[in-house]
């Protein structure tokens, strides 16, 4: 088998596996909201639901397709998912894709810098602590990391807001912008508004990944091949960068990819503290109001993001670890 054929087979296998995963997840996404107790129509109608007759309720259910057999709803949902069309939100009266595009955009604006900064910080600090295992620096950084990781994010965010926004007045108390600014001033305004939320998310990201990087390095430093490298007379810097860090990278990439998926939906607390309109609050509101179309749409997008991040991680493994890269080329590893 040629190298090109091996790569094609490898990618075909991956695509098939991700495709099956996607269908399974989409099916679960369809089933879970409907398995929850509570009627979205009752939530939609609020206080007036009790006085509405069944005919009107029936008409409303028909309007949102909720009166149709479950298999019909499923087929329509899968076809809609293929076109990224999930109809209208029951609760917000808006087109689900428009709603998600709006929210997803701001979530990504928040998440990308947070993950990049947090990951980089974790890699640098984790390396410092790992290579100086047992030192004062290691104890200080590890202690700080555990403290940060165990701190409730709402409490931490409120403390930061109280200090930097309320008392010092350096940053705004929330929202994505001051509103009604344009051009470069608008971009600066957004940067100013996002500084604290990004800093907090990056800190939490760094605290979590720091422990993984540090522990990986500590573990790898005790491996036999490191002992051999030292015996060969290689300098500490060469051992650290070429031998240790290279072995840390697959785990680092893996955890970054997983975190990306979680953070797209999991920045809820930060969104609430800073009044940001992101995917976290969208999903939370949709769960609370049983807004099936929004839930389904949001989960489909999140699924795509998680799978894409994992796929990217798979590819990056091959680049960072030649053994995996070789097996990709020969198609022996799927």
Per-residue binding letters, 95-124, with another protein (x by CB under 8 A): -------x---x-----------------x
Query: How far out from the chain centre does Cα 51 lie?
Result: 42
> CB–CB of 141/211 below 8 Å?
no
276 binds another protein (CB under 8 A): yes
21 binds another protein (CB under 8 A): no
148 binds another protein (CB under 8 A): no
Q: Which residue of 18, 149, 164, 311 would you call a contact of another protein, by CB under 8 A?
A: 164
Q: Which residue of 32, 148, 158, 324 would you call a contact of another protein, by CB under 8 A?
A: 158
Which is closer to another protein, CB of 217 or CB of 316?
A: 217
- Distances in whole angstroms, Cα of residue 115 to Cα of each of 60, 109, 188: 42, 11, 21
* Total residues at interface with another protein (CB under 8 A): 64
- And the tokens for 266? 């999991």
169 binds another protein (CB under 8 A): yes
| DSSP codes, 10-47 | HHHHHHHHHHHHHHHHHHHHHHHHHHSSS-HHHHHHGG
217 binds another protein (CB under 8 A): no
Q: Which residue of 46, 152, 183, 233 would you call a contact of another protein, by CB under 8 A?
A: 46
> Which range binds another protein by CB under 8 A, 24-32, 213-221, 271-279, 292-300?
271-279
Q: Which residue of 21, 73, 215, 281 would you call a contact of another protein, by CB under 8 A?
A: 281
Rama region for 174: left / alpha / beta (φ>0; ψ in -120 to 50; rest):
left
44 binds another protein (CB under 8 A): yes
Residues 127, 120: Cα–Cα separation, whole Å = 11
45 binds another protein (CB under 8 A): yes
Q: Which residue of 30, 64, 86, 274 would you call a contact of another protein, by CB under 8 A?
A: 274
150 binds another protein (CB under 8 A): no
Query: What is the footprint of another protein within residues 288-307 (CB under 8 A)?
Result: 288-290
- And the tokens for 297? 């749409």
> Which range binds another protein by CB under 8 A, 5-13, 90-98, 254-262, 302-310?
90-98
| DSSP codes, 248-286 | HHHHHHHHHHHHHHHHHHH-HHHHHHTT---HHHHHHHH
Burial (Cβ within 10 Å: 0-12, 13-18, ≥19) of residue 209 = buried
- Distances in whole angstroms, Cα of residue 141 to Cα of each of 66, 128, 136, 207, 241: 54, 9, 9, 9, 20
Q: Which residue of 162, 235, 241, 242 would you call a contact of another protein, by CB under 8 A?
A: 162
Angle at 268 between CA 266 and CA 271, to 5 degrees: 130
Residues in touch with another protein (CB under 8 A): 37-40, 42-53, 56, 60, 88, 92-94, 102, 106, 124, 128, 132, 137, 158, 161-162, 164-166, 169-181, 185, 188-189, 191-192, 195, 271-277, 281, 288-290
């Amino acid at each position: 088998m040629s190298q090109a054929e091996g790569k094609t087979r490898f990618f075909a296998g991956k695509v098939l596996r991700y495709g099956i995963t996607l269908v399974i997840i989409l099916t679960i996404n369809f089933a879970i909201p409907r398995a929850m107790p509570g009627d979205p129509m009752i939530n939609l109608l609020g206080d007036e639901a009790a006085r509405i007759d069944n005919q009107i309720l029936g008409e409303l259910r028909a309007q949102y397709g909720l009166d149709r057999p479950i298999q019909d709803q499923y087929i329509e949902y899968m076809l809609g998912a293929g076109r990224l069309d999930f109809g209208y939100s029951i609760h917000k009266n808006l087109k689900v894709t428009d709603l998600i595009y709006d929210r997803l955009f701001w979530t990504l604006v928040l998440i990308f810098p947070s993950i990049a900064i947090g990951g980089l910080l974790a890699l640098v600090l984790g390396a410092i602590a790992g290579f100086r295992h047992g030192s004062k620096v290691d104890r200080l950084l590890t202690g700080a990391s555990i403290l940060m990781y165990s701190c409730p994010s709402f409490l931490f965010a409120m403390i930061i807001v109280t200090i930097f926004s309320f008392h010092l007045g350096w940053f705004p108390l929330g929202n994505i912008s001051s509103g009604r600014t344009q051009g470069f001033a608008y971009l600066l305004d957004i940067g100013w508004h996002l500084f604290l939320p990004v800093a907090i998310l990056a800190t939490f990201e760094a605290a979590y990944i720091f422990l993984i990087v540090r522990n990986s390095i500590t573990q790898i430093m005790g491996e036999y091949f490191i002992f051999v490298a030292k015996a060969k007379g290689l300098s500490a810097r060469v051992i650290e960068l070429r031998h240790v860090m290279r072995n840390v990278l697959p785990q680092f990439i893996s955890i970054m990819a997983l975190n990306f998926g979680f953070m797209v939906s999991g920045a809820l607390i930060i969104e609430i503290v800073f009044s940001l309109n992101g995917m976290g609050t969208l999903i939370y509101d949709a769960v609370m109001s049983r807004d099936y179309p929004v839930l389904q749409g949001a989960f489909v997008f999140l699924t795509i993001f998680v799978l894409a991040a994992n796929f990217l991680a798979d590819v990056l493994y091959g680049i960072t670890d030649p053994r995996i890269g070789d097996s990709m080329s020969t198609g022996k590893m799927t």
